[in-house]
Structure 1
């Protein structure tokens, strides 16, 4: 399993007291009671639940990068295509991250890129960016110089993210009750197969079923450590059956189908006013990074 990025941390500033950061966005949140019904156990199929071809590869539900485990089998084409076309958007949404970000200012010529920015929030609603992965060293110089800075980011695509959740929800229901036949399962599979056949991310078609799902995110530690749990939302309007993925994301088994459309996600541009640098030390990080392993030295 991948190392999880920090969701919360506390920084002891040299001047000004501690700075506490968290992944949960500020403002009012919708809270709905959730009832866990049944933990689902792995179930392997002879044929791919999505396309019907021989199932030859083990499938993580939800994706491993969200904390999923091997729960079933699909064909290699479905497994690989969905991972390539959809998974990055789902992981960025889950991690509150923006990909392919760039900074620009008059202090340093040209755009300077970071591979990924984690967005975290202070208790008073201010946001902080944490670079993850490769980062042009000049980004630090741009921020240290302060002044007017242009930030461009690529937010996760809503349609591709919802399609990734639709796939995991569908596989979860197959694990519970077997591969369904007839409508509405045929229409659902048709929309998933249209994704699989796309040549690139930009060609992934809009999915009315995926955009009509009820999706709720739980902030904080997982409700359960199980990969997939059959669960039920209990809003005032009536119960909604679905799956709880990785203990944090509820996805409904029903969809408010419509001729939904969505515009392609475009890069966002922010004009920032950066002040003087602030020094400090990281005091706590959650989740804690795994301990480093000692390396053994061999003898020739």
Structure 2
């Protein structure tokens, strides 16, 4: 990708500015452990489960029932992947230069080495968006950010399964409460019905921005926090999730669409390109 001046445009996923460095000690690489019964609900475990989800780099680490596997993926995984990829699921641009609101699908946020941010549409994008940005001036950007509660619930599921892989299915009142919150999510009819989970929101979650610390899917690790050592799991070499939750202190951030008012420099020119991680599927024949 090139700048309007013709020079190369280098960009990455890591936001500019200072980042916090926290010591992390890797303790044990977890190996796959297959259960006969689903560790979440107790039904027969008939499907192999990626921990963390495959789109984060997870591998098949255990088995769950089909309902727990598929329902969590449908209800939660998109928010987790958007958070991990620094993306907005849907967005629209609007200005006086082009009539109406113009839609893009998933919008990736990336930063240049000099601290400027850029947008990369992934998938379908209204061609008029290029005209809006090329005209410059005041531009309204409306986006749907990842839902914090659903993102943390997806990580809670991965943390719980990692705990089961390490030590077996936990018993007792705290484990029963955790499973009850996961089952309440599984039984939700749609994303809007997913209940707020204090346990999930109370997890300590840290993101590593560089290359993966390890290529292993799940590693038992110890974080040196301000309050002392914190045991948890490093997922896909990039995301640390604590094995404990300060659930009584957790509150959900407001969800919904966000609106940004942008001032676009009219001297900036460029093409709006779609990014396809995989080739689009070919049209199939329909049987009569």
TM-score, normalised via structure 1 length: 0.86
1:141 aligns with 2:131: yes
Q: CA deviation at 1:220?
A: 1.2
Tell me, what secondary structure is at the counterpart of 1:104?
A: strand
Go from structure 1 to structure 2 and tell me whether the alpha carbon gap of 1:264 and 1:198 turns closer, same or farther (over 3 Å shift).
farther
Structure 2 distance, partners of 1:34, 1:221, is 15
**In angstroms, what is the RMSD of aligned CA positions?**
2.0
User: What is the aligned partner in structure 1 of residue 260 from structure 2?
Assistant: 270
CA distance in 1, matches of 2:130, 2:270: 13
Q: In the alignment, what sits opposite 2:274? A: none
In the alignment, what sits opposite 1:187?
A: 177
In 2, the alpha carbon distance for the partners of 1:153 and 1:12 equals 26
Query: 2:148·2:253 contact (CA, 8 Å) conserved in 1?
Result: no
Question: For 1:1-300, what aligned pairs fall within 5 Å after superposition?
Answer: 11-13=1-3, 15=5, 17-258=7-248, 260-275=250-265, 276-279=267-270
TM-fit CA distance, 1:18? 4.6
SS across alignment from 2:154: helix
| d(CA) in 2 for partners of 1:279, 1:111 | 20
Return 253-262 or 207-216, whichever deviates more: 253-262
Q: Secondary structure at the match of 1:232?
A: strand
Structure 1 residue 239: Cα displacement:
1.0
Structure 1 gap segments, 5+ residues each = 1-10, 281-288, 293-300
How far apart are residue 264 of structure 1 and its match? 4.3
* Cα distance change on mapping 1:260 and 1:71 into 2, 3 Å: same
Q: How many residues align?
A: 274
Contact 2:14 2:209 in 1 (8 A): yes
- TM-score, L = length of structure 2: 0.90
In the alignment, the residues of structure 2 paired with residue 182 and residue 251 of structure 1 have an alpha-carbon distance, to the nearest angstrom, of 21
Q: What stretches of structure 2 of length at least 5 have no aligned partner?
A: 272-276, 280-288
